[in-house]
Structure 1
Amino acid sequence: MNLLTQHISASDIKSLEHKIQRFQKEETFKLSHQYQFNSLTTRELEIVNLLVKDLNNSEIAQKLFISRLTVEQHRKNINRKLNVRTPFQLFRYALAFDLV
């Protein structure tokens, strides 16, 4: 049976519509936040990558060979530049900009 003759259920169509809507929202977010994301330094991007992998400040400091206080300062800068206040908001950036 080829793809054209297969039966597509209503639930399959709803699922596909939901995925398309989610993709559209993510792309809209990405386009409207590109400037903020581009303002991050290379080091800040490294830290975002490690944060979304659930590493804490001390673990990030060890991994990057910097002090915990330096990590905290980078995190403050990241939060300010991206205007994020929660881990979920930061994760949304990471998803939109393919960091995860």
Structure 2
Amino acid sequence: MLQHSKQLVIAIVDDHPIVIEGLKNLLASETGFDIVSFTTGGQFMNYLKTQEVHVVLLDIVLPDANGLELCKDIKKKYPDITILAISNQAERSIIMQMLQNGASGYLLKNAAADELLACIENGMKGEPALSKEAREIMSRPAPNDWNGIPSLTKREKEILRLISEGFSSTDIADKLYLSQLTVETHRRNIIQKFRTNNMFSVIKLAIEHKMI
């Protein structure tokens, strides 16, 4: 059990209710936690205006915000909050940017309960807080070290294909039943994974390597 002198307030920011419930269940054994949850970045930022939070478990893809940018915004306004990214994004470049934007750690959503608790503890102490899989990803060579092409999630491949076919973010959102902001977040993540500055370069590389 984690030992702290006061009740810790942990916020979960994720747009999937089943993920929120799963994280709450993982943390249920820790009686020293008060847990609050939010499905959008806006809800969480409004909460912070009047309430104290010590740790936030932050998803990267949210319906109203890019978690990478939200992390930077949180640390700028509330530097004492410990931010742990918790995501399905298993790309080294995404993990790196999240850490550069102020996150204390990064966990994949398949992390075990003891990993989650250890990362919270380490993050609160200012120590590196990476889950086992995240550590393994960070230990691999960077893409520019081996000229590799990044792996994309099924949704990212779908969105990239539609972009290459000329569909706008609005069209893609309607077609895939997503919010336009979610599509834009995926677009930014795809560009980040390819380590380029624009979608044109991404499409060019994707075509050259027969990804689309």
Q: TM-score range by the shorter chain?
A: 0.5 to 0.7
- Give the gaps of 5 or more residues in structure 1: 1-30
Select 2:177's aligned residue among 37, 42, 65: 65
Tell me the TM-score normalized by structure 2.
0.29
Aligned to 2:205: 93
Matched residue of 2:172: which SS? helix
Q: Percent of aligned pairs with the same residue?
A: 34
Greater helix proportion:
1
Change (3 A) 1:89 1:96: same
CA radius of gyration, larger in: 1
Aligned to 1:74: 186
- Give the gaps of 5 or more residues in structure 2: 1-145
Number of residue pairs matched by the alignment: 67
Aligned to 1:12: none
d(CA) in 2 for partners of 1:64, 1:97: 25
Tell me the TM-score normalized by structure 1.
0.59
Q: What aligned pairs does 1:14-29 form with structure 2 within 5 A after superposition?
A: none
d(CA) in 2 for partners of 1:45, 1:57: 14
Answer 1 or 2: higher relative contact order, Cα 8 Å, separation at least 6. Answer: 1
d(CA) in 2 for partners of 1:43, 1:53: 15
Runs of 4+ that moved beyond 4 A: none
